[in-house]
Chain A
Amino acid sequence: MNFLITINVGLKEIWANKFRSVLTMLGIILGVGSLVAQSALVKGLENGMKEALIAVGGLEKVYVTPQAIPVWQRHRKDQAVGNTMNDIYALQHSAPLVHLVTPEMQTREVTVTRAGKAFNPWHFVGTWPDALELNKHVIEHGRMVSDVDEKEARSVCVIGTGTRDALFGSPEGIGREINPVGEFININHQRFRIIGMFQHYESELDRKARALAQESAPEPGKVGPTRKRGFGSGKSKSGGGLSFEWKNNTIYIPLNTMWLKFRAGVAVPLLPGAGAAAGLDSGPDPRLSTVYFKVKDLSQMNDALQQARNVMMHTHKGIDDFAFNTEENQSENIAVATRNARLSGGIIAAISLLVGGVGIMNIMLASITERVREIGVRKAVGATFMDIFIQILVESVVIAIIGGVAGLLASQGLVKLLTLISPADYTPVITVDAMLLAFGFSVVVGVLAGIFPGLKAARLHPIQALRYD
């Protein structure tokens, strides 16, 4: 029997029972729709988390932090030098697998003031111009600190929008964008000129929310002074937002400025020959908070780290007082979280697809019971076992295919609906992979649902079928 004819027969049968067929398809439609929609949600989540990962510098970024000296090296504690500029120069010259080697010297608990307003930046560091590229910063106004600033230890700073908003006012608060470049601010009572400002960093979602807020008129109901609403009162409510907030609340100054102006008073108890105990001045603490570098090729991460370690072991006199940190952990967390969400959501959606399949099987069984005589007639005029089996199977698969296509269409609407209901989540992304998977799954369900009714129909004895009432 011609396959096209069989499909035609199946379509006619479905068309003849429109209402019943639509009800049957509903299970598949919802199953496919929810499978695609949940995968879109997970994809959106993944994208959001990856966005945050890229914002902090990406997977290639490695930072070296001080580490407690291991027990077997404790006796050499007084010889440990910590991370110093020696590491930077050594890495630059002897570790070809890494680049963008950047020192960072941080001072904590600083207060920035201007005209009676105060602000505590999250991240106040002295660093090199390379930090711009390393941390994926983008300058909106002015410029980054330069090598000349560095050489002359100038009192200049590059701020993020967090500092600007706190000291000058935010665009939302005062209704216009302020360019603070050229202004002066005080950092721990020392006068600094702002030479640059980063752009405002925010997640895709926050950007949309802000655009939405700009469109709508300001609410007149808000009265009283502005207030913070307790811990975690940041503007962004999404998980990845913290990375963006961190970048917005960063202040960069030249490394030498940091060293000379903020480290001069710090004792250096661990340095060999340090005279802190004897009251001798050994100069400002030369230790770096963090050494940053990027691995040139992500696939050579292990080799690069080993190389960097070998180099740094020399500068650290063989003392293991430093540790490498990468974002791999965060990347793995993203992968695990995504996989878990996909798995749990996928299983639920797959169950609903299976329920849809059971619905198809049920209807096919009812349909063949209704058509026993027809099957008898077809057998009497020469239909074989396979003819009948394929006819029923095709009907089932055609229902599943139509349901699958309708489900794909429904998923678009479903995703829109989900975005509408909960706009505070990441924007769902419908992927072709998910659509293909869901559609393929619905076809498989259609085949499985058709096998049993098909066998049952094909096994009917022609005489009994003809006598059936």
Chain B
Amino acid sequence: MALIEVRNVSKIYHLGGEEIRALDDVSVDIDGGEFISIIGPSGSGKSTLMHILGCLDSPSKGTIRLDGALIEHASERELAGIRNRKIGFVFQFFNLLPKLTVLQNVELPLIYTGVSSRERRERALQALKLVDMENRAKHRPMQLSGGQQQRTAIARALVNDPKIVFADEPTGNLDSHTGETILQLFYKISEEGRTVALVTHDPEIAAFTPRRIEIRDGKIARNVDSKLAGLGTSPRFSIPSPSATQHPS
């Protein structure tokens, strides 16, 4: 069974009596440990799809099964719990809380999980070590560079050991070099067995991931899996691709 099963999902907005279909009858499966990108021009519905997959929003029609649980039946409280324990988010504008230190920012999800303060600190430091930020734990977000801020945000997404990490244009606000290191960080995370979904409009970044889901006008235009197509690794980076045995068919 796939980690995420999306079946006939539509998201319809009503704007001044006009019906806008941000997602139109989308069905897709994402397996555990996959590294995918959701690509499409702005307004295509890729962000809406990510929000629905990330339990930030609920679909107008269709069903979503996340790790075996039907999420449209979940209450707001249960959705918050799923976001807290199973999903990590990385945003384009980092969205760190400026008044908290790096460590406190990373601790934030654990506060809502109800973890004791000592364990929170330990796990937050571990997550920071993972992104190579442990020596900046006492800094405030404003004292960090963009790349460091994004690494902090990634540490925050990882701190609760989620199954899926969603990243919405994670390199959009970074220069290309920093962007690359961030992308490599995501690759490393996916190597550890986590599902990583990048949302981007940039085909170059999408080319970095083994699987690409292209969205246009609320529909899946193309669903390219380089492994299945036998295209081998991404052309831009010389990173070893996940072996075929790791990739569940």
Q: In the complex the two chains form, is A381's CB within 8 Å of B156's CB?
A: yes
If A2-B111, A387-B112, A463-B57 touch, whether A381 touches B84 (CB-CB below 8 Å) is: yes
- A229 CB to closest chain B CB (Å) equals 68
- B102 CB to closest chain A CB (Å) equals 14
- The secondary structure that dominates the A interface is helix
Which of chain B's residues 78-109 have a Cβ closer than 8 Å to chain A? 80-81, 83-85, 89, 91, 95-97, 99, 108-109
Query: Complex Cα distance A384/B111, Å?
Result: 12
Query: Complex Cα distance A384/B78, Å?
Result: 9
Q: In the complex the two chains form, is B97's CB within 8 Å of A385's CB?
A: no
Contact for A381 among B51, B76, B77, B83, CB less than 8 A: B83
Q: In the complex the two chains form, is A2's CB within 8 Å of B83's CB?
A: no
Q: Mark B178-197, 1 if CB is under 8 A from A, else 0.
A: 00000000000000000000
* Closest residue on chain B to residue A373 by CB atoms: B95
- B240 CB to closest chain A CB (Å) equals 32
Q: In the complex the two chains form, is B108's CB within 8 Å of A381's CB?
A: yes
A-side contacts of B156, CB under 8 Å: 381
Query: Complex Cα distance A373/B54, Å?
Result: 17
A-side contacts of B91, CB under 8 Å: 466
Contact for A376 among B77, B85, B95, B117, CB less than 8 A: B95
Interface range on chain A (Cβ under 8 Å from partner): 20 to 34
Known A462-B56, A463-B57; 10 more pairs at CB < 8 Å? A1-B111, A2-B114, A5-B117, A377-B97, A379-B80, A382-B112, A384-B112, A387-B80, A463-B51, A466-B91
Query: Complex Cα distance A16/B98, Å?
Result: 11
A-side contacts of B112, CB under 8 Å: 1, 378, 381-384, 387
Q: In the complex the two chains form, is A382's CB within 8 Å of B80's CB?
A: yes
Q: How many A-B residue pairs have CB under 8 A?
A: 65
If A380-B56, A381-B156 touch, whether A5 touches B83 (CB-CB below 8 Å) is: no
* Closest residue on chain B to residue A385 by CB atoms: B76
Query: Complex Cα distance A373/B111, Å?
Result: 18
A12 at the interface (CB under 8 A from B): yes
Query: Which one of B83, B85, B113 has the greatest number of beta carbons of chain A within 10 Å?
Result: B83
- 13 residue pairs A–B, Cβ–Cβ below 8 Å: A376-B95, A377-B108, A379-B56, A379-B83, A381-B109, A381-B156, A382-B109, A382-B160, A383-B112, A384-B112, A385-B80, A463-B51, A466-B56
Query: Complex Cα distance A16/B113, Å?
Result: 26
If A1-B112, A463-B57 touch, whether A382 touches B83 (CB-CB below 8 Å) is: yes
Query: Complex Cα distance A373/B99, Å?
Result: 13
Q: Mark A361-400, 1 if CB is under 8 A from B, else 0.
A: 0000000000001101111111111110000000000000
If A381-B83, A382-B85, A462-B56 touch, whether A16 touches B111 (CB-CB below 8 Å) is: no
Q: Which residues of A line the B interface, CB within 8 A? A: 1-2, 5, 12-13, 16, 373-374, 376-387, 461-463, 466
A-side contacts of B89, CB under 8 Å: 380-381
Query: Complex Cα distance A12/B96, Å?
Result: 16
Query: Complex Cα distance A78/B130, Å?
Result: 115
If A384-B76, A385-B77, A463-B56 touch, whether A378 touches B108 (CB-CB below 8 Å) is: yes
Contact for A380 among B77, B83, B85, B117, CB less than 8 A: B83
B-side contacts of A463, CB under 8 Å: 51, 56-57
- B117 CB to closest chain A CB (Å) equals 8
Query: Complex Cα distance A385/B95, Å?
Result: 20
- B118 CB to closest chain A CB (Å) equals 13
Query: Complex Cα distance A410/B169, Å?
Result: 54
Query: Which one of A16, A381, A386, A462 has the greatest number of beta carbons of chain B within 10 Å?
Result: A381
A-side contacts of B84, CB under 8 Å: 381-382
A-side contacts of B51, CB under 8 Å: 463
* Closest residue on chain B to residue A387 by CB atoms: B112
Query: Complex Cα distance A376/B57, Å?
Result: 12
- A17 CB to closest chain B CB (Å) equals 10
Q: In the complex the two chains form, is B80's CB within 8 Å of A377's CB?
A: no
Which of chain B's residues 96-138 have a Cβ closer than 8 Å to chain A? 96-97, 99, 108-109, 111-114, 117
What 3 pairs between A and B have smallest CB-CB spacing?
A382-B84, A381-B109, A382-B112
B-side contacts of A385, CB under 8 Å: 76-77, 80
Q: In the complex the two chains form, is A1's CB within 8 Å of B56's CB?
A: no
- A47 CB to closest chain B CB (Å) equals 50
B-side contacts of A379, CB under 8 Å: 56, 80, 83
If A376-B95, A463-B57 touch, whether A382 touches B114 (CB-CB below 8 Å) is: no
Query: Complex Cα distance A462/B84, Å?
Result: 13
Query: Complex Cα distance A377/B88, Å?
Result: 11
Query: Complex Cα distance A322/B156, Å?
Result: 92
Contact for A382 among B81, B96, B97, B99, CB less than 8 A: B81
B-side contacts of A373, CB under 8 Å: 95
Query: Complex Cα distance A79/B140, Å?
Result: 102
- B57 CB to closest chain A CB (Å) equals 6
* Closest residue on chain B to residue A17 by CB atoms: B99
- B105 CB to closest chain A CB (Å) equals 9
A-side contacts of B83, CB under 8 Å: 379-382
B-side contacts of A12, CB under 8 Å: 99
B-side contacts of A381, CB under 8 Å: 83-84, 89, 108-109, 112, 156
* Closest residue on chain B to residue A12 by CB atoms: B99
Q: In the complex the two chains form, is A382's CB within 8 Å of B113's CB?
A: yes
Query: Complex Cα distance A383/B77, Å?
Result: 9
A-side contacts of B109, CB under 8 Å: 381-382
Q: In the complex the two chains form, is B95's CB within 8 Å of A377's CB?
A: yes
Q: In the complex the two chains form, is A383's CB within 8 Å of B80's CB?
A: yes
Query: Complex Cα distance A379/B84, Å?
Result: 9
Query: Complex Cα distance A463/B89, Å?
Result: 12
A-side contacts of B54, CB under 8 Å: 380
Q: In the complex the two chains form, is B97's CB within 8 Å of A374's CB?
A: yes
- B54 CB to closest chain A CB (Å) equals 8
B-side contacts of A2, CB under 8 Å: 111, 114
B-side contacts of A380, CB under 8 Å: 54, 56, 83, 89, 95
* Closest residue on chain B to residue A6 by CB atoms: B111
A-side contacts of B77, CB under 8 Å: 384-386
Which of chain B's residues 221-246 have a Cβ closer than 8 Å to chain A? none
